[in-house]
Amino acid sequence: MKRLIQSASSLLLVPCAVAVQAFAAPPVVTNVTALQRTNESGLVDIYYSLFDAQADTQTVFVAVSTNSGGRYDITTTNVSGDAGSGVLTGAAKHIVWDATADLPLFSSTNVRVKVTAEDGVYTDLFCIIDVSAGPAAVSYPVSFTSIAPPADNEHKTTKIALARIAGGTFTMGSPLDELGRGTDETQHTVTVSRSFYMGLFEITQAQYLNVMGANPSFNSKGAQSPTRPVEMVSWTAARGGTWPAGAPDSAAFMGRLRAKTSRLFDLPTEAQWEFACRAGTTNALNNDTNLTNEYSDGNMDELGRYFYNGGGTYVADPTNGADAAVGLYEPNNAGLYDMHGNVNEWCLDLYDAYGGNATDPHGAQSGTNTYRVVRGGSWCFDAAACRSAARRYYSQDYTQDDYGFRLCLPASP
């Protein structure tokens, strides 16, 4: 990425080009540059090139980070030019951003902009569940929007946000030379045939409390840290029931959420989880880097809480150690946070050896096996256990203070 400093202002813009829909034949954003105008207007000129193999019109978004790219949590609403829906592909596309309108105190030297593109015109890129009415509510409103929700406390406590993930084909598992690789990660080709929504964040203590009326968490529970992920949650408490045939238990989180939204919220399958985690990447971590150390690794440090970047301080300081509030680390290309580390995330599947190339695999189908897959690693794991391909499994009734989950929802065709 090219760093641009406008000498007449205090603005530092480090553009970043990422295609959010980084799966089958995605649009490609390149040559991003951004300069603040010198006339004290607060306007920023953003230039970029846009390519799409099908030459479709695109929906183009601009997101802003005010902490040097740690989080792109500012949604730009004051933009004109080649932004929004119906943008034609081509070189030298131009966006004018009124920075002071979106950021009244705009003068940061740590501002970065990110230009992303999606095929076509979408009004349902994000799903929002409003659980602010609490566990006594008769229903929870569900809405869809093309505007990325900010990574603010509202969407970590009283609302639950999910991003649409376009279906596609990817290589699941890890290559033989990946550092920290497990023997059960045989690479194979998997097709996720249907688009789905995946939670931007792990379900937090506040969100769980709003749905269930209780908070089972052990780490800094309740009012001390509502935006930390809920833990001490078993697969049975999160989902329960039977799967792949059968509905969730009506008393479980998914059962209650379904009853109050009339939508088929669930845990992701293992294949959906890895597909969403990778978001088009192929290396060990979803910023498309590989580990240089199985234990403490600088690439992992940027992506999520694990033992060597804060989780391990739990023994000396349980208030600040263990897991972290969701959304503090860098998101992946699909805008999902904490896919590496923080808490282990339950998947639908019964654990099984991979069965080769497949479409929408479901893991073990029958038998006495009650061991469900968990993915992502946690605050008390090393870097290798937090890789995109890393697999673990536990009894579906197992609880521990590093076990949580995130939501999944099938998308309309």
Helix (H) or strand (E) holding 323: none
- In eight-state DSSP terms, residue 101 is H
Burial class (CB in 10 A: 0-12, 13-18, 19+), 177: exposed
pLDDT of residue 223: 59
% of the chain surpassing 70 pLDDT: 86
Could you tell me if residue 161 is inside a domain?
no
Domain boundary among 95, 119, 143: 119
Q: Is position 154 within any domain?
A: no
- Rounded to two decimals, the pTM is 0.74
Query: Last residue of a domain, which of 119, 141, 158?
Result: 119
Enter the DSSP assignment of 202.
P
**Considering the domain boundaries, does residue 130 fall inside one?**
no
Structural domain includes residue 147: no
Confirm whether 54 is domain-assigned: yes
The predicted-structure confidence for 290-340, as pLDDT tens digits, reads as follows 999 999 999 999 999 999 999 887 665 655 668 999 999 999 999 999 999
98-143: per-residue pLDDT in tens?
A: 888 877 766 656 788 889 887 766 678 899 999 999 999 999 999 9
Residues 58 and 24: their CA atoms lie apart, in Å, by 15
- How many separate domains does the chain show? 2
In a domain, 374, yes or no: yes
Q: Is the pLDDT of residue 14 over 50?
A: no
Q: Are residues 22 and 90 in the same domain?
A: yes
Cα distance between the two ends of the chain: 36
269: which DSSP letter?
Answer: P
The pLDDT-based confidence of 64 (bands split at 50, 70, 90) is: confident
Per-residue pLDDT, averaged over 42-52, amounts to 91
**CB contact set of 322 (below 8 Å; sequence gap of 6+):** 219, 220, 311, 314, 379, 380, 401, 402
Residue 386: band (very low, low, confident or very high) from pLDDT cuts 50, 70, 90: very high
- The CATH number given to whatever domain includes residue 376 is 3.90.1580.10
Helix (H) or strand (E) segment spanning residue 223: none
Domain that holds residue 23: 4-119
Residue 73: per-residue pLDDT: 64
215, 283: one domain: yes
Would you give the distance in Å from CA 181 to the centre of its chain? Answer: 23
Q: How confident is the model at residue 203 (pLDDT cuts 50, 70, 90)?
A: very high
Is 205 in the same domain as 108?
no
91 and 198 belong to one structural domain: no
Question: Are 69 and 179 members of one domain?
Answer: no
Check pLDDT > 90 for residue 153: yes
Tell me the C-alpha to C-alpha distance, in Å, between residue 394 and each of 203, 275, 311, 397: 19, 21, 21, 8
- 56 to 25, 47, 87, 165, 168: CA distances (angstroms): 11, 20, 9, 19, 18
Same domain, 290 and 362: yes
Q: Looking at the structure, do residues 102 and 181 belong to the same domain, yes or no? A: no
- Final residue in a domain of this structure, among 119, 140, 155: 119
How does strand 344-350 pair with strand 403-404?
A: parallel
pLDDT at 16: 39
Distances (CA, A) of 390 to 91, 197, 252, 335, 341: 40, 22, 27, 20, 11
Examine residue 143 and state whether it is found in any structural domain, yes or no: no
Strands (E), 120-210: 126-130, 142-145, 159-165, 168-172, 188-192, 196-199
* Average predicted confidence (pLDDT) for the chain: 87
404 within a domain of the structure (yes/no):
yes
Residues 60 and 183 in one domain: no
pLDDT at 25: 58
As given in the structure block, the two tokens for residue 261 are 């939204």
- Which residue type, as a one-letter code, is found at position 372? R
If asked whether residues 204 and 303 sit together in one domain, one would say yes
